[in-house]
Amino acid sequence: MHESCGVFGVFAPGQDVARLTFFALFALQHRGQESSGISTSDGQELKLHSQMGLVSHIFTEDILKKLDGHIAIGHNRYSTTGSSQQINAQPFVMGQGDNVIAIAHNGNIVNSEALNTELTSQGYTFKTSTDTEIISQLILSSIETDWVKRIRYAMNRLKGAFSCTLMTKDTLFAMRDSLGVRPLCLGKIQGGYVVTSESCALDHIGADFVREIEPGEIVAINGNGITSFKQQSSRRALCIFEFIYFARPDSLIDGRLLYSARQAMGVELAKEYPVDADLVIGVPDSARRLFAKGTCSPGP
């Protein structure tokens, strides 16, 4: 199961956004341990630092101080497509001049090969082997001048799962696929807003949970405030592995605390498949306390 990257974004003038992103990524470390990266914007320039390894090993005080600005996005990678190497570490910063974006993506695009072939035939070149670069190229290739319309154009071309944070020089964006396969939520912090894969990251940075980003929704956050652009979704398909394995138990997903949801699943599992046991050993570990809840007294 290699589909559990963590994404984060923050717009908060006057705050140390790189440090906030660092703490959020630390809270999301369980979603990806191959590489980590942070990109920031001061309104004029996008800066980036990404590296293989764990969050706590990558971002020193010197690195965080260099990542100044009032907008930031971050990413922890657990590869679904593309090899595990530095060139595939996210976020990606792509484009030039005023036509530049940074992007972090969690999910898996199933029509990536067809889109790669199409874009290559149009003269676009790819430096990595990731779905994220394809998403970036789709956005940048749009003839629209409005960023929301460009993002919507890309979303309409993509098939598969994507929860993304994106950043231009002056605006933070978040987008989620129409099925809502991967989680994404909105939080409020002093002076601004944050977007994160899981609500557990909000607690680490003193942010309050506002709501989940809806399937098919684009959220734009800048100096003018926050704006939502919704597209009606006919059905939802949140990945069940978020509930039973990927997400942290203290996260709130689909309106429910994961710890409570897992306990309820364990009770039902024990009812369907009762065993005469004194000890529960789970693989994966998230199953241990669940099944124990329904069969015997849970251990420490």
The dihedral region occupied by 206, where left means phi > 0, alpha psi between -120 and 50, and beta the remainder, is left
- Decide if 5 is catalytic: yes
216 CB-near residues (< 8 Å, 6+ apart): 155, 176, 177, 178, 180, 230, 231, 232, 233
Which candidate in 5, 185, 200, 239 is catalytic? Answer: 5
**Within its chain, how far is the Cα of 204 from the centroid?**
16
> d(Cα 186, Cα 148) in Å, to the nearest integer?
18
Distance separating alpha carbons of residues 159 and 90, to the nearest angstrom? 21
Give 135-178 as a DSSP string.
Answer: HHHHHHH-S-SSHHHHHHHHHHH--EEEEEEEE-SS-EEEEE-T
According to DSSP, the residues that pair with 76 across neighbouring strands are 6, 36
- What is the rounded CA–CA span in Å between residue 207 and residue 203? 6
Strand partners for 71: 11, 41
Residues 6+ away with beta carbon under 8 Å from 48: 37, 38, 39, 91, 93, 102
- Return phi, psi of residue 116, to 5°: -60, -45
Q: Provide the β-strand partners of residue 27.
A: none
Length, in residues, of the chain: 300
- Only one residue has tokens 């999910």, namely 107
**φ, ψ (nearest 5 deg) of residue 281:** -120, 120
Catalytic sites, residue numbers: 5
